[in-house]
Each structure stands twice: as C-alpha cells, then as structure tokens.
Amino acid sequence: MEQGVKRTQRDYSLSFKLAVVDQIEKGELTYKQVQVRYGIQGRSTVLVWFRKHGRQYWSQGASIRDERSCAMSDPNPVLRGWASYFKLSQSKHPFEELKGWGRHKLRCTIWRQWKQPPTRVRNLMRLGLSEERARKSAFNGRGPWWNSGAQHTNHALPMKLWETARAGLNTGYDQPA
C-alpha cells in the first residue's frame, strides 16, 4: 500500500470545503465518494466540514447561531405541535412537563450566550442575585444544562418571566379545540 503525504485541515481552502459541502447537500456525491474523488484523508474530515459549513440542522454539533435561531426565535410553534399531539390524552401533565423542559432549554441557551463568568456575574446581579451568590454561581465550573436547572438560575430567570405575554410559552392547551 502506497503511503501519501498526510494532510491537515489547514491544507484545504475554505472555498474547496464549501464546494465539497455544496456537492454533498445537492446530492451529487456522498461524503465517501467525495473522499475517494478528491483524496481526502480521515474518516471524519468531510463530516466535520459538513457539520460546520452545511445548511442542515444537526442535533449535536450545531452552531450557536443555529441553536439561537431555532430555540430563541419562537418556540411556540413547536410547543403547539406537541400540544396537538398530546391533546388526545386528556391530561395536562405532558404539557406541564413540556413547558418545564422548554423553560430549562431557554435558560440553558441564555447561560451559553453569556459565555464568560464575568458576564454571567454581571447579568445575574442585574436580574436580582446578590454579588456573592452571582459570583459563586458563575464560577461553579458546572455545565450550562446543570446551571439552567439550578436554583440560582431559576431565581434570576423565574417561571413567571416565561409566562408573560411577550415571551410566553404557549402550548395551546387552554385554547378551545
């Protein structure tokens, strides 16, 4: 077997990567065919490009831009869709659970948007936490999902914030059928 030169991500130009991703998205080639045609080494190289530069939504590895536009812009159509599905059960429990998960996800997204601990401290203090509690919360070293369910975040971003007319999470359950 002939050994070639080992290439890195930097060896490929951005325009080449975008052209490859475009070919895959149009369905002209699969990622395996692209690897063979252009001699791209590594199993995940093309997939990394596809996730980074592609226009498709990825449940994991999606960019912050995609997550912000999906989760923060208007969660209500998704909630209404689930509400229509669960209306058949004649129970409010699935809706309350879904709304709770939605609030948790929105808090998680906000926590990620704040990025740096000093920004988190400043924003938590602005939302009513004491300086000591805000510092302890921002520098606790835990991840965004844990922090979005923690008491400090629930105190700073309470449930009634999400129930206002401006940002309400509307499942449509209370509306007449």
pLDDT tens digits for range 74-109: 666 666 676 666 666 666 666 677 777 878 888 888
> Which parts of the chain sit beneath pLDDT 70?
1-4, 56-80, 82-95, 162-177
Task: Determine phi and psi for 49, rounding to 5 degrees.
Answer: -60, -45
DSSP-H helix ranges across the chain: 14-26, 31-38, 45-53, 64-67, 76-86, 93-114, 117-126, 131-138, 144-149, 151-156, 159-162
What does pTM read for this prediction?
A: 0.46
State the DSSP code for 89: G
pLDDT for residue 109? 87
